[in-house]
Amino acid sequence: MAEISNGLNSLIAQYGTDKAKAASGVDTQTATEKASIGDQDVFMTLYIEQLKNQDPTAPQDTNDMVAQMSQFNQVEQLSTISSRLESMSAALTSSQALGASTLVGKSVFVSQKSAELAEDGNIALRVEIPDDAQTTTLKISDASGNLVKEVDLSDKEYTWDGKAADGNPLPPGSYQFSAKARTFDGDVVELQTLLPARIQGVTINGANGTELNVAGHGKLSLSSELEIVG
C-alpha cells in the first residue's frame, strides 16, 4: 500500500490540481522530480479517479485540467510536425541526390578560358556581348598558345566545329578561348567566356549542401542556375 500511495502522490504532484496536491500533502518539487510519467492516458486516468473521490460539496477546479490537456495536445502536435518535417527533409535529400547523380558525365557551362575538344567533336560556348560593342572577336588557341582560329561574333552563342582557320580538323585536346569587344568609343574590353566542363561526381550533404564536382572548375552548388549540355 505504501508503494501505491507513493506512486499516487507522485502522479498527483505531476498532474493533479492545486487542491488535490494540498489535500494529499504532496511536496510538489520533490515528487515532480521523482515522477517521470508524461503519458496523456495516465493523466486522464488520474483525473477520473480524482473526480470519483471528490467532495460533492467542493468539486475539483477543471481549469488546471483544461490547461494541462492543452499543453499535452500542443506537444503532440509539435512532435508530429517535427517527425513529418524530418521525413520530408530525408525525401528531398534523397530526391536531390538521385537527380544530381544523373548529371554525372554531362557538362555544364562555367566561366573559364579553356575546354576539351573530343575526337570529331565540337565546343559550344557563350560570350556576353555588351550593348555598346561595335565588334566582338573570339580567338581560339591550342594548349601551347598558338592561334588556330579567329572569329567575328555577332551573337552571344557560338559553336566551334574543331577546325582551324584553313578548314582542317584539329586534334583532340585542350584549347583556349579569348573574347574581346571594341566599343563605339574605341575602348577594348575583355569578355567573359562560358565553356562546357564535365561533371565528374556529386557531393551529397556537404558543408554547402549538394554540390557538383566539375572538371577544371571545382565544386559547383546544385542550387545555382545551371545550364547542362551534352
CA–CA dist 163, 120 (Å, integer): 10
pLDDT, residue 30, reads 45
Residue 5: strand, helix, or coil? helix
pLDDT, residue 95, reads 62
pLDDT, residue 228, reads 77
Residues 230 and 109: beta-carbon distance below 8 Å: no
Q: Where do we find the cell 488520474?
A: 46
pLDDT, residue 140, reads 97
CA–CA dist 222, 155 (Å, integer): 28
Q: Report the sign of the C-alpha dihedral through residues 74, 80, 83, 84, in that order.
A: negative
Residues 134 and 182: beta-carbon distance below 8 Å: yes
pLDDT, residue 106, reads 85
pLDDT along the chain (230 residues), means of 10: 48 54 54 45 67 62 62 68 70 61 82 90 91 93 95 93 94 95 91 90 74 83 72
Across the strands, what pairs with 152? 137
Determine which helix (DSSP H) or strand (DSSP E) holds 179, and give its type and residue range. strand 173-183
Per-residue DSSP letter, 163: B
Across the strands, what pairs with 58? 55
Identify the CA nearest to 191 among candidates 199, 200, 182.
Answer: 182
Task: Please tell me whether the overall predicted TM-score, pTM, comes out greater than 0.75 for this model.
Answer: no
Q: Compute CA distances 147 → 11, 139, 227, whole Å.
A: 88, 7, 28
Q: Report the sign of the C-alpha dihedral through residues 221, 222, 226, 230, in that order.
A: positive
Q: Report the sign of the C-alpha dihedral through residues 109, 115, 120, 126, in that order.
A: positive
The full set of domains in the chain, from first to last, is 2-72 (no CATH), 107-229 (2.60.40.4070)
Q: Where do we find the cell 572548375?
A: 217
